[in-house]
Structure 1
Amino acid sequence: MGSNPDTGARVLAVYAGRTGTLRWGGRPVASAYVKSPVEGPVTVGPEGLEGDEQGDRRHHGGPDKAVCVYPGEHYPHVEERFGGPLGPAAFGENLTTRGLLDAEVVIGATYRVGTALVQVSQPRRPCYKIAARHAALTGARRLPVELQRISRTGFYLRVLAPGQVERGQGIHLEDVPAHGLTVAEVNRVMNVDRHDLDGVRRLLAARADLPARWVETLTARLDGRYDDDTSRIAGT
């Protein structure tokens, strides 16, 4: 692919947050879901944005989940379904973007954002903390499942080369894998149509662009062993 083509995509906002507390099922839950806007350049490295934390390092953060992206175009649709407004960083994202839709962004694609080089690693798998954050919304408990079903999950980035990012910067496509598997398609197979074994095989053919844990999960499905995502969705 040609060097650094202009995709028209842009960073609308940058967010980071420290670990705080959400309430779920009558108990406190550690989470850095609530984030604040960052003005000016911020350094991003293999573990994420400077000043950003994760309350649960077992399920969040790390090189395959260094930066969480949520397309700004999704906000009106989700707000209409759930009686928003949702407010900024409503999905705990680090970057709210324009021009990077789940149905178009390819897993393994690399982008230049500011001076950082990043790679799309996986769809975000929504968990119960989204429901906890928006408990006042009608049907908030359905949010994690509904976001998966309508393929408006957002996605994560690996950081291949550290740099600085800032609100208003363009997002430039550097390279895109030939397999063409989009965030929405990977989400569908992984989270929605879990028994689509043909889909599983297509994903495994692109295993080099998936996190190792996802490859293990998908391989197990071919052997009839399915992962239980109840705790992720319901917080039990």
Structure 2
Amino acid sequence: MGEIIALSVGKPKSFLWKGKNESSGIGKGKVSIAELTKNGFVGDGVANLEHHGGPERAVCVYSFEHYKQWEKEFNVKLSLPALGENLCVSGMLEKDVYIGDVYSLGNAVVQVTQGRVPCSTISKFNDIDVFLKRIVETNYTGYFFKVLQEGTVQADGKLELIERTQDKVSILYANQIFLHDKKNKAGLKDLLEVNELAYVWRQKIEKLLVKNI
């Protein structure tokens, strides 16, 4: 069971980063309650529809436990949600969460689809140049849910595991293969064997396998 530490939503805003205006949905605000639809939380949004959002990336999740490491490593105090996550949760680390896992979330039901592929916006938003690099190196990326059943989510709620469809490909393992070990044919095939894997990851992995033949 996971515990919600912060529930956050927000529409894209314009930020001035190093003299350049950029639009991003990373600057979310904490709320006490939110309606969850197949396309994400009501009141939430993304700026780059090619790399963010969509039904298979409806909810972005990040582990609260990682915040302590980042604060110590960068000697800063981070305000939730520093990584633009909808749900900051405890008890659900990447090593313990598996692609295909089904959770109850309030009266909604969600399923894990892929690890998050972080971008430079995280570094820019927090003014920490090496943040993105360290997230990728550690595989502490967070992950995404798709919504199987729409419902209402409260900030003081919990996530309860309803079903585990497989116990081989955790988010941590998937990240290691997808981000660092793209020539590992056995690992890539492990990911493809997970029926619940997000379509965008499946496409990329299939291309990698063809390239590696």
- Name the structure 2 match of 1:15: 8
| Partner SS for 1:178 | coil
Higher deviation after alignment, 91-100 or 188-197: 188-197
Name the CA distance, whole Å, in 2 between partners of 1:205 and 1:25.
43
Give 1:87 deviation, angstroms.
1.1
TM-score normalised by structure 2 residue count: 0.95
- 1:33 alignment partner AA: I
- Name the structure 2 match of 1:4: none
Q: Does 1:38 align with 2:25?
A: no
Is 1:32–1:54's contact at 8 Å kept on the other side of the alignment? yes
Name the CA distance, whole Å, in 1 between partners of 2:137 and 2:185.
18
Match of 1:217 among 190, 204, 210: 204
Name the CA distance, whole Å, in 2 between partners of 1:177 and 1:22.
40
Structure 2: runs of 5+ lacking an equivalent: none
Deviating beyond 6 angstroms after TM superposition, the runs of 4 or more aligned structure 1 residues are none
C-alpha root-mean-square deviation of aligned residues, in Å?
A: 1.4
- Name the structure 2 match of 1:80: 72
Match of 1:176 among 160, 164, 178: 164
- Name the structure 2 match of 1:111: 103
Q: Does 1:132 align with 2:124?
A: yes
Matched ranges for 1:66-215 at <5 A: 66-135=58-127, 140-206=128-194, 208-215=195-202
TM-score normalised by structure 1 residue count: 0.86
Structure 1: runs of 5+ lacking an equivalent: 1-6, 226-236
| Partner SS for 2:211 | coil
Name the CA distance, whole Å, in 2 between partners of 1:211 and 1:156.
9
| Partner SS for 2:111 | strand
Name the CA distance, whole Å, in 2 between partners of 1:154 and 1:21.
24
Give 1:25 deviation, angstroms.
5.5
Percentage of matched positions with identical amino acids: 29
Count of aligned pairs between the two proteins: 212
Give 1:202 deviation, angstroms.
1.0
